Structure 1
Amino acid sequence: RFLGHSFKSSQRKANKLLPLKISRCFNSMASLLDSVTVTRVFSLPSSISSISAAPSVSGRRVSTVEFRGLKASRSLVSQSANRSSRFTRGVRGIVCEAQDTTAAVEVPNLSDSEWQTKVLESDVPVMVEFWAPWCGPCRMIHPIVDQLAKDFAGKLKFYKINTDESPNTANRYGIRSVPTVIVFKDGEKKDSIIGAVPRETLEKTIERFLVE
Structure 2
Amino acid sequence: MASIVPTAVDESTFESEVLNAEKPVLVDFWAPWCGPCRLVSPVVESFGDKHNDKMSVAKVNTDENQQLAMRYSIFSIPTLIVFQNGREAARLVGFMPQEVMEERLSQFLA
Tell me if TM exceeds 0.5. yes
Q: In 1, Cα distance between the equivalents of 2:6 and 2:108?
A: 20
**Contact 2:29–2:69, Cα closer than 8 Å, also in 1:** yes
Higher relative contact order (CA 8 A, sep 6+): 2
For the residue of structure 1 that corresponds to 2:54, the secondary structure is coil
Choose between structure 1 and 2: higher strand proportion: 2
Partner of 1:65: none
Pairing 1:171–2:75 present: no
| Amino acid across the alignment from 2:63 | D
List alignment gaps of at least 5 residues for structure 1.
1-100
Partner of 1:22: none
List alignment gaps of at least 5 residues for structure 2.
none
Q: In 2, Cα distance between the equivalents of 1:105 and 1:201?
A: 21
Pairing 1:140–2:39 present: yes
Q: Offset of 1:208 from its aligned partner?
A: 1.1
Choose between structure 1 and 2: higher helix proportion: 1
What do the CA deviations read for 1:25-77 (whole angstroms, capped 9, x no partner)? xxxxxxxxxxxxxxxxxxxxxxxxxxxxxxxxxxxxxxxxxxxxxxxxxxxxx
- Number of residue pairs matched? 110
What do the CA deviations read for 1:120-178 (whole angstroms, capped 9, x no partner)? 11111110000001000000000011111111112111001000011111100100100
Give 1 or 2 for the bigger CA radius of gyration.
1
The ranges of structure 1 where at least 4 consecutive aligned residues each deviate by more than 2 angstroms after the TM superposition are 103-106
Pairing 1:198–2:91 present: no
Partner of 1:129: 28
**What's the % identity of the aligned pairs?**
38
- Please provide the CA RMSD for this pair: 1.3
| Amino acid across the alignment from 2:70 | N
